[in-house]
Amino acid sequence: MGTVTKNDLVKKVVALGVNGNVAKVAVQSFIDCIVDSLKAGVKVQLSGFGTFVIRSRKERLCRNPKTGEKVMVPARSSPAFKPSEILKKRIEHGK
C-alpha cells in the first residue's frame, strides 16, 4: 500500500471526464482554499469527511536530547485534522 499524491487525485478527477488541465487547477484550488482559510484562522469543515483547524501550542521548556541542555521552544500554530464519525465508520467497516 502506497501513498496517495496530488497527482493521483488529479487522475481521479480526470477519470470523471474532466480535462486534465482543468482537473489539475481544480485540485490545486481546493487545496489553496483550505490553506487560505486556515491561515485566516477559519476552520474548514467538510461534511462526512472531517474538519481542518489550526491548533496553537504554547511556549514551553524542553530538553535537548543530545546535550541535556534545557531550551525554550517558541509558541507556534499547526494544522490539525479531526475525522468525522461517518469517515471513521466507513474506514472501520471497509466501505
Is 55 strand, coil or helix? strand
pLDDT at 55: 95
Q: How confident is the model at residue 1 (pLDDT cuts 50, 70, 90)?
A: low
Residue 95, pLDDT above cutoff 70: no
DSSP 8-state assignment for residue 42: -
DSSP 8-state assignment for residue 74: P
Residues 78 and 57: beta-carbon distance below 8 Å: yes
Average pLDDT, the chain: 94
Per-residue pLDDT of 24-52, as tens digits, reads 999 999 999 999 999 999 999 999 999 99
Task: Tell me the mean pLDDT in the region 63-67.
Answer: 93
pLDDT at 18: 95
Structural domains of the chain sorted by starting position, each given as residue range(s) with its CATH number in brackets = 6-92 (4.10.520.10)
Distance, C-alpha 90 to centroid of its chain:
19
